[in-house]
């Protein structure tokens, strides 16, 4: 136990921690900050977000037929509000626009009319005019929900799954793409930062000792070559601690996005951009991506360890891991974290299987390395 | 000399550097091959240019018109034979025959129609050039950029001045007729972005990664192998660091040349630029979005390519210098590499925090880190923060001087350092 404690201290030495914090700050400002400070990002995202918060408040997690009637009423009210605004302005009357319907069907090619349009939309930014097209759109979605849901399916299994969702009525869930895609961007960048940090902190674990020739001392001690195993344990523990701390920090940042009211809403909504293999609520989806990141972090603890134990200098360790890191951050994360469990990405069990394969492959290669380490010659 | 040769051998015999080099070359080739699917469509323009030249003037337009009408007649001969219909243009033909082309026409005829469609596109676009350019307002573009970046006060004035200066250049460009030249249609093929953004940016990052690794590897090699005390006691002694720097620069040059040469030779064998080398880079046809690419100087594609490669070499030298200074200060290569990454990140993020109403905001742009981010708009009117006429030149020269001074200081300190 003592050895593990010392190893942890070695991993979290003050120099590494300072660099780690700097790396995290830079990654935060380069990739994550935007998703946190610019949510909802401009308009109409803001209007859609407000609309869904209101819907969640009044209808709860799902919007049934009765509540849909109420939603339509709200639309009528909003139209009335827009009408009143239009009628209160003289320039609209001059241009022959008397109500919202005229406004919506306005000819944008006509410069004079377009001037009026951009005045309301872009200069004065009147809320109700931003909101109305989306209310209309979402009423249309709800009315045609079955067709719209079934439309993108390209094979039988996907179709079956969509029918299952329709049977359960999950598609009426009050949940929107504005929130979901923002979360996906956020978690992708967070995972990138986490994996990079883990790689950074784990890579020197064997290399440092081997370079300083401390391994010969370690071999002759009572613990002997078992130190290799203890280091694995210490490394995994260290990355677990690191990932947890990072997740806490990142989710504190994310909490400023104010999406907690949607935690219990199903993600398979007609207003959302994912159709999942599973009936997940938003909080379950978050949990799933967090677990996924933990698994990846585990794999990305073992890979640097392996590299660390076989490379002779730091340049080799960096050079080997650089392509791995670039590949994972640009391609792997896109498939394993982003839009996880979407039916259009992989067959149902593929994602789980892929994670399993990653865990097994990295564990087995580490076991092989340990077997070799036991018999390794110390002369080279 | 022998010492230098041996230092050079260290680089060449390092499997990791060679491995990365090969990996990067393979990656570049894949990137180029991936976008080669439209290379046959590009050939149509080579033929047009071979027949009529790339310069758009009245004579050329008339000859092209004649040719085009002749071809349309041929099209009508074919269509009359097959479907007894006549068309005044290929787009009309496509509208009518979008779905049933397959069985009616032979392969050869389809090919002919497809190529004629491409020629038609160019022909129509030529007719629009004058009108489009009369609508371009450089001063308004400047205001738009100021708004986009949220600039105010002195910073906004600086940008305005730059755009006023560029406005003169714009009129000169029109007078020279630089915009009226045929080139691969940017709106369709985006060749400028493909070459100068996708490929060049990848190349630059690869070169930066390799040169930093090579420099760190060489400079700290003796500390890595615990041989520094042996070196110190030799006749050459601590002067070895100068040899190391020379070899680092030489190997980086070699690596950069290999990467650039392989990528570009593959690119230009796949995409045929014959007849287009001397087309001005500011040609309207090079434009990919509503606003065309316009360079600060009248230069041809060939010159632009050459200068861009020069900038790549120059930035490689700058990054070698930065890596050298870091390697000298930090003996642990692992920490050194990450410190380099952090410095890179800091130079990209910190300038964003400078208030946007002072001229300080522009300092952030004048760094090699910022320079290599957008190779597709070097020497051109571009985003507000870096739209200075001599931006590339001044960035490179300022940093060269800065890094030279720092390197000399660093070497001097190294020589007097305690063991």
Residues B151 and B99 both lie in one domain: no
Helix segments in B330-372, DSSP class H: 333-349, 368-371
All residues of chain B having their beta carbon less than 8 Å from the beta carbon of residue A22 are 342
On whether both B8 and B64 belong to a single domain, the answer is no
* Span A37-57, average pLDDT: 87
The pair of structure tokens assigned to A138 is 């979402």
Q: What Å distances lie between residue B216 and B205, B304, B368, B400, CA to CA?
A: 16, 32, 19, 19
Q: Which residues of A touch B148 (CB under 8 A)?
A: none
Q: Kindly identify which residue of chain A lies nearest to residue B345, measuring between CA atoms.
A: A26
CA angle A270, A273, A278 (to 5 degrees): 80
For residue A62, what is the DSSP state? B
Taking any CB pair shorter than 8 Å as contact, residues of chain B touching chain A are 14-17, 19-20, 23, 209, 213, 216-217, 224, 332-335, 337-339, 341-342, 345-346, 348-349, 352
Q: Is the confidence at residue A380, as pLDDT, over 60?
A: no
B342/A313 CB distance under 8 A: no
Residue found by looking up tokens 């190893």 in the block: A7
- Residue B201 neighbours by CB under 8 Å, 6+ apart: B372, B373, B375, B376
The answer to which of A123-127, A286-290, B145-149, B298-302 has the lowest mean pLDDT is: A123-127
Same domain, B310 and B228: yes
User: What distance in Å separates residue B334's CA from the closest CA in chain A?
Assistant: 5
Q: Check whether residue B346 and residue B384 sit in a common domain.
A: yes
Tell me the shortest Cα–Cα distance from A319 to chain B, in angstroms: 6
Dihedral through CA B258, CA B259, CA B262, CA B268, nearest 10?
Answer: -130
Q: How many CA atoms lie within 13 A of B264 on its CB side?
A: 17
* Cβ <8 Å between B342 and A23: yes
Q: DSSP letters of A285-309?
A: HHHHHHHHHHHHHHHHHHHHHHHHH
Question: Which residues in chain A have Cβ-Cβ distances shorter than 8 Å to B17?
Answer: 315, 319
Helical pair A65-88 and A127-143, crossing angle rounded to 10 deg: 150
Taking only the tens place, the pLDDT of each residue in A294-335 is 999 999 999 999 999 988 889 999 999 999 999 999 899 988
Q: Give the nearest chain B residue to A202 (CA atoms).
A: B334
Residue A74 clears pLDDT 60, i.e. is over it? yes
What pLDDT, on the 0 to 100 scale, is given for residue B101?
65
Q: What value does the mean pLDDT take over residues A171-186? A: 91
Say if CB A5 and CB A241 are below 8 A apart: no
| Two structure tokens written together for B367 | 């760094």
Rounded to whole angstroms, the Cα distance separating A126 from B102 reads 52
CB contact under 8 A, B338 and A323: no
Burial class of B307 by CB neighbour count within 10 A (0 to 12, 13 to 18, 19+):
middle
Q: In whole angstroms, what is the distance from residue A155 CA to residue B66 CA?
A: 52
For chain A, the domains span 2-40+175-375, 63-172
Q: Match 């794999």 to its residue by tokens.
A: A299
* B306/chain A closest Cα distance in angstroms: 29
Residue B155 and residue B109 in one domain: no
**Domain-ending residue, one of B109, B135, B161:** B135
pLDDT at residue A287, as a whole number: 95
Residue contact B352–A29, C-beta within 8 A: yes
- Does B376 lie in the same domain as B262? yes
Give B-chain residues touching A196 at CB under 8 angstroms.
Answer: none
Judging contacts by C-beta atoms under 8 Å, the chain A residues touching residue B337 are 314, 318
The Cα of B345 is separated from the nearest Cα of chain A by a number of Å equal to 6
Using CB atoms, pick whichever of A203, A211, A315 lies closest to residue B213.
A315
Give the three-state DSSP class for B381: coil
CB–CB contact B16 A315 (8 Å)? yes
Q: Does one domain contain both B69 and B211?
A: no
Q: Which residue of B has its CA nearest to A211?
A: B224
Nearest 5°: the CA angle A240, A241, A244 is: 85
CB pairs under 8 A between A and B: 57
Q: Does A214 touch chain B (CB under 8 A)?
A: no
- For A29, the closest of B15, B335, B349 (CB atoms) is B349
Give the mutation candidate from B334, B337, B344, B353 for the A interface (greatest A CB count, under 10 A).
B334
B126 and B226: one domain? no
Write the CB contacts of A255 (distance below 8 Å, at least 6 apart in sequence): none
Question: Would the CB atoms of B333 and A313 count as touching at under 8 Å?
Answer: yes
User: Which pLDDT belongs to residue A354?
Assistant: 93
Cβ contact A191:A337 at 8 Å: yes
Q: Can you give the pLDDT at residue A237?
A: 95
Mean pLDDT confidence for A140-153 = 85
Q: What distances in angstroms separate CA A6 from CA A253, B183, B192, one per listed residue?
A: 32, 66, 56
A322 interface with B at CB cutoff 8 Å: yes
Distance from CA of B217 to the nearest CA of A (A): 6
For residue B369, list chain A residues with Cβ-Cβ distance below 8 A. Answer: none
Of B333, B339, B349, the CB nearest to A315: B333
* Among candidates B19, B334, B341 on the partner chain, residue whose Cβ is nearest the Cβ of A204: B334
Partners of residue A313 in chain B, C-beta under 8 Å: 217, 224, 333
Chain A neighbors of B323, CB-CB under 8 A: none
- Contact residues, chain A, for B20 at CB < 8 Å: 319, 322-323
B270 and B403 fall within a common domain: yes
Contact B216 A323 (CB under 8 A): no
Cα A146-A173-A295 angle, rounded to 5 deg: 110
- Cβ contacts (< 8 Å) between A38 and chain B: which residues? none
Cα B289 from Cα B141, distance rounded (Å): 14
Per-residue pLDDT in tens (0 to 9) along chain B, 419 residues? 688 888 888 888 889 999 999 999 999 999 999 988 888 888 888 888 888 888 888 888 888 888 888 888 888 888 887 777 777 788 777 777 666 666 677 788 888 888 888 888 888 888 888 888 888 888 888 888 888 888 888 888 888 998 999 999 999 988 888 888 888 988 888 899 999 999 999 999 999 999 999 999 999 988 888 888 888 888 888 888 888 999 999 999 999 999 999 999 999 999 988 888 999 998 888 888 888 888 998 999 999 999 999 999 999 999 999 999 999 999 889 999 999 999 999 999 888 888 888 888 888 889 999 999 989 888 888 777 788 888 899 999 999 999 999 999 999 998 888 77
Q: Do B341 and A23 touch (CB under 8 A)?
A: yes
Q: Cα–Cα distance between B395 and B393 in angstroms, integer?
A: 6
Residue among B355, B373, B332, B338 nearest A24 (CA): B338
Is residue B219 within 8 Å of B240, Cβ to Cβ? no
Domain end call among B135, B158, B181 = B135
Whether ipTM exceeds 0.95: no
Does A318 contact B at CB distance below 8 Å?
yes
In eight-state DSSP terms, residue A64 is: -
Q: Is the pLDDT of residue A81 over 90?
A: no
Q: Which residues pair with A342 in a beta bridge?
A: A276
Fill in the DSSP letter of residue B351.
G
The answer to whether the CB of B55 falls within 8 A of the CB of B181 is yes
Residues above pLDDT 90, as percent of chain A = 41
B101, two tokens? 């082309």
One domain, residues B346 and B314: yes
Nearest one of A62, A281, A320, A225 to B334, comparing CA atoms: A320
Same domain membership, residue B355 and residue B219: yes
Tokens encoding A62: 């799902």
pLDDT band at A143 (very low <50, low <70, confident <90, very high): confident
pLDDT at position B1, please?
A: 60
Taking each continuous run of H as one helix and of E as one strand, the counts in chain B are 19, 0
Domains contained in chain B, number: 2
Nearest CA in chain B to A197: B338
Q: Yes or no: say if B284 and B179 are a contact pair by the CB < 8 Å rule.
A: yes
| 8 A C-beta contact, residue B405 and residue B324 | no
Q: Are A161 and A253 in contact (CB under 8 A)?
A: no
Cβ separation A314–B332 shorter than 8 A:
yes
Question: Nearest by CB to B338, which of A29, A200, A323?
Answer: A200
Helix, strand, coil in percent for chain A, rounding step 5: 75, 0, 20
Contacts for A242-251 with beta carbons within 8 Å, 24 or more apart? A242/A20, A242/A194, A242/A197, A242/A198, A242/A201, A243/A194, A243/A198, A243/A293, A243/A294, A243/A297, A246/A24, A246/A190, A246/A193, A246/A194, A246/A197, A247/A190, A247/A194, A247/A290, A247/A293, A249/A24, A250/A32, A250/A186, A250/A190, A250/A193
Q: How far apart are CA B297 and CA B104, in angstroms?
A: 51
- Chosen for mutation from A16, A213, A314 (greatest number of chain B CBs closer than 10 Å) is A314
List CB contacts of B292: < 8 A, sequence separation 6 or more.
B136, B179, B282, B284, B286
Looking at the structure, do residues B12 and B26 belong to the same domain, yes or no?
yes
**Per-residue 3-state assignment (H helix, E strand, C coil) for A222-268:** CCHHHHHHHHHHHHHHHHHHHHHHHHHHHHHHHHCCCCHHHCCCECC
Distance (Å, rounded) from C-alpha A146 to C-alpha A148? 5
Q: Are A46 and A40 in contact (CB under 8 A)?
A: yes
User: What distance in Å separates residue A246's CA from the closest CA in chain B?
Assistant: 18
Which residue of A15, A204, A318 is in closest CB contact with B213? A318
Alpha carbon of A250: minimum distance to chain B alpha carbons (Å):
19
Q: Which residue of B lies nearest to A205 if distances are taken between CA atoms? A: B334
- Say if pTM beats, i.e. exceeds, 0.80: yes
CA B335 to chain centroid, in Å, comes to 31
Structural domain including B97 reads: 41-135
Alpha-carbon distance of B370 to B383, in angstroms, equals 12
Q: What CA–CA distance (Å, rounded) separates B338 from A328?
A: 18
End residue of a domain, out of B103, B135, B167: B135
């Amino acid at each position: 136990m003592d050895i593990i404690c010392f190893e942890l201290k070695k991993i979290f030495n003050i120099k590494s921690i300072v660099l780690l914090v700097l790396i995290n700050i830079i990654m935060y400002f380069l990739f994550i900050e935007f998703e946190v400070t610019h949510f909802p990002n401009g308009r109409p995202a803001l209007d859609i977000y407000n609309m869904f918060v209101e819907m969640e408040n009044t209808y709860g997690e799902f919007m049934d037929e009765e509540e849909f009637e109420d939603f339509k009423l709200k639309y009528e009210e909003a139209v009335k509000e827009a009408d009143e605004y239009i009628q209160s302005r003289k320039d609209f009357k001059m241009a022959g626009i008397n109500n919202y319907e005229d406004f919506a069907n306005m000819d944008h090619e006509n410069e004079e009319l377009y001037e009026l349009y951009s005045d309301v939309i872009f200069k004065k930014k009147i809320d109700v005019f931003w909101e109305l097209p989306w209310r209309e759109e979402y009423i249309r979605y709800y009315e045609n929900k079955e067709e719209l849901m079934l439309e993108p399916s390209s094979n039988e299994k996907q179709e079956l799954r969509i029918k299952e969702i329709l049977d359960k009525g999950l598609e009426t869930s009050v949940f929107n793409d504005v929130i979901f895609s923002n979360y996906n961007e956020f978690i992708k960048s967070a995972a990138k930062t986490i994996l990079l940090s883990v790689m950074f902190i784990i890579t020197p674990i064997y290399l440092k000792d081997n370079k300083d020739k401390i391994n010969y001392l370690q071999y002759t001690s009572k613990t002997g070559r078992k130190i290799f195993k203890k280091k694995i344990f210490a490394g995994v523990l260290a990355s677990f601690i690191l990932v947890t701390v990072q997740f806490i920090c990142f989710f504190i940042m994310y909490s400023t996005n104010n999406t907690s009211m949607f935690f219990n809403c199903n993600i398979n909504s007609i207003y959302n951009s994912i159709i999942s293999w599973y009936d997940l609520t938003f909080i379950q989806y978050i949990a799933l991506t967090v677990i996924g990141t933990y698994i990846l972090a585990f794999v990305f603890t073992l890979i640097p360890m392996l590299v660390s134990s076989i490379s002779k200098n730091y340049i080799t360790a960096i050079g080997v891991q650089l392509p791995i890191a670039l590949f994972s951050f640009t391609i792997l994360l896109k498939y394993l974290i982003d839009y996880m469990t979407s039916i259009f990405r992989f067959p149902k069990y593929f994602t789980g299987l892929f994670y399993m394969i990653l865990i097994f492959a990295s564990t087995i290669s580490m076991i092989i390395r340990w077997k070799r380490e036991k018999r390794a010659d110390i002369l080279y | 000399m022998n010492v230098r040769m041996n230092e050079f051998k260290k680089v060449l015999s390092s499997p990791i550097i060679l491995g990365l080099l090969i990996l990067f070359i393979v990656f570049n080739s894949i990137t180029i091959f991936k976008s080669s699917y439209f290379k046959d469509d590009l050939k149509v323009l080579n033929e047009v240019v071979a027949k009529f030249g790339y310069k758009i003037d009245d004579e050329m337009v008339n000859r092209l018109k004649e040719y085009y009408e002749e071809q349309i007649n041929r099209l009508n001969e074919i269509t009359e034979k097959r479907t007894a219909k006549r068309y005044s243009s290929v787009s009309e033909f496509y509208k009518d025959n979008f779905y049933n082309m397959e069985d009616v026409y032979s392969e050869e005829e389809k090919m002919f129609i497809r190529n004629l469609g491409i020629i038609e596109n160019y022909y129509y676009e030529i007719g629009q050039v004058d009108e489009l350019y009369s609508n371009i307002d450089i001063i308004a573009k400047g205001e738009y950029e100021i708004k986009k970046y949220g600039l105010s006060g002195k910073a906004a004035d600086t940008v305005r001045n730059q755009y006023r200066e560029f406005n003169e250049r714009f009129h000169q460009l029109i007078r020279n007729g630089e915009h009226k030249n045929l080139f691969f249609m940017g709106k369709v093929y985006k060749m400028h972005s493909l070459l100068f953004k996708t490929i060049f940016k990848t190349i630059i990052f690869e070169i930066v990664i390799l040169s930093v690794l090579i420099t760190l590897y060489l400079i700290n090699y003796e500390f890595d192998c615990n041989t520094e005390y042996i070196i110190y006691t030799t006749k050459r002694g601590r002067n070895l660091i100068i040899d190391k720097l020379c070899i680092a620069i030489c190997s980086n040059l070699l690596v950069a040349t290999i990467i650039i040469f392989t990528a570009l030779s593959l690119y230009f064998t796949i995409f045929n630029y014959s007849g287009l080398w001397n087309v001005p880079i500011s040609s309207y046809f090079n434009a990919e979005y509503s606003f065309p690419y316009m360079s600060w100087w009248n230069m041809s594609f060939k010159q632009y390519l050459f200068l861009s490669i020069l900038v790549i070499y120059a930035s490689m030298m700058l990054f070698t210098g930065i890596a050298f200074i870091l390697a000298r200060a930090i003996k642990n290569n692992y920490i050194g590499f990450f410190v380099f990454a952090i410095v890179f990140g800091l130079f990209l993020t910190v300038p964003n925090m400078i208030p946007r109403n002072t001229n300080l905001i522009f300092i952030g742009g004048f760094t090699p880190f910022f320079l290599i981010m957008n190779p597709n708009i070097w020497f051109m009117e571009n985003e507000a923060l870096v739209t200075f006429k001599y931006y590339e030149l001044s960035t490179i020269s300022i940093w060269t001087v800065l890094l030279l001074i720092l390197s000399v200081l660093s070497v001097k300190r190294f020589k007097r350092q305690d063991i």
